[in-house]
Amino acid sequence: MKIRKALLSDIPLIKEIAEKAWRPTYDHILTEQQTLYMLDLMYNTRTLENQINGNIAFFMVEMGQETVGYFAVENFNEQFVKLHKLYLDPTQKQQGLGRKIIQYIKDWTLLNQKNSIILNVNKNNSAVEFYLKMGFLVKEELVLDIGQGYVMDDFMMQLDLRPTQLNV
C-alpha cells in the first residue's frame, strides 16, 4: 500500500471512488434522493478543489498501479486533527487497509503536533464498529442540517493519542 498527497487532477478519481463506496455504505441508511444530494454537495468539483487547495489534506491510497481509496484530514484546531473522509473501493475492504490508513493518520496527527483525532460518522454506518476497534470513543451525538430537509445523524468520535500516565 502506498499513500500519496492528492492533486487536483485526482478529483475525477475521488468522485469515482465515492460513487462506488457510497451506495453499498449508505443504501440501507439514506434514501437515493439524499444520497444524490449529498454526493453532489460534498463531491462537486468546486467543493473538492476548494478543499484540496484549502485546509483539508486529501490523500490517495494505492495498491500497485491502482488507486483504491482516499481520505481527507484537517488540522482542525490546537488539539485536534479532523478526519473528514475515508473511503475505499468496496472490493478492497477487509484487507487491513483501513487499519494501515488509521495508523498513517495517527502518525500525521502527531507530526502536526496534535493530541487527538475526531470524526463524524453516521450512527448506522458499519464503520462505527471499525472506529471503535481502532480505539475511537463516541463523544457526542449530532444531528446536522445539511439543507433540502436532510440531516446527518452522526456520532462524533475521538481517538486520544496522548500517552496514558500510569499511577504507580
Residue numbers of the domain that contains 102: 2-115
Domain contains 136: no
Q: Which residues lie across from 147 on neighbouring strands? A: 150
Query: Over the stretch 136-164, which tens digit does the pLDDT of each residue have?
Result: 999 999 999 999 999 999 999 999 998 76
Pairwise CA distance, residues 121 & 131, whole Å: 9
Give the per-residue pLDDT at 143: 96
Q: Could you tell me the three cell numbers for 133?
A: 476497534
Domain contains 107: yes
Domain contains 162: no
Pairwise CA distance, residues 58 & 86, whole Å: 10
Domain contains 67: yes
Q: Could you tell me the three cell numbers for 109?
A: 496527527
The beta strand positions in the chain, using DSSP E, are: 2-5, 56-63, 66-75, 80-88, 116-122, 137-147, 150-160
pTM recorded for the entire structure: 0.91
Give the per-residue pLDDT at 167: 54
Q: 58: domain CATH number?
A: 3.40.630.30
Give the per-residue pLDDT at 93: 72
Instruction: Put residue 149 in one of left, alpha, beta given phi > 0 → left and psi -120 to 50 → alpha.
Output: left
Give the per-residue pLDDT at 164: 63
Chain-centroid distance of CA 17 in Å reads 13
Give the per-residue pLDDT at 166: 55
Domain contains 88: yes
Query: Over the stretch 21-76, which tens digit does the pLDDT of each residue have?
Result: 998 889 899 999 999 999 999 999 999 999 999 999 999 999 999 999 999 999 98
Pairwise CA distance, residues 12 & 28, whole Å: 26
Domain contains 37: yes
Give the per-residue pLDDT at 152: 94
| pLDDT greater than 60 at residue 168 | no
DSSP-H helix ranges across 27-146: 32-43, 45-53, 97-111, 127-133
Confidence of residue 165 (pLDDT cuts 50, 70, 90): low
Domain contains 156: no
The tally of domains found in the chain comes to 1
Domain contains 137: no
Confidence of residue 95 (pLDDT cuts 50, 70, 90): confident
Query: Over the stretch 119-143, which tens digit does the pLDDT of each residue have?
Result: 999 999 999 999 999 999 999 999 9
Q: Which residues lie across from 63 on neighbouring strands? A: 66
Confidence of residue 111 (pLDDT cuts 50, 70, 90): very high
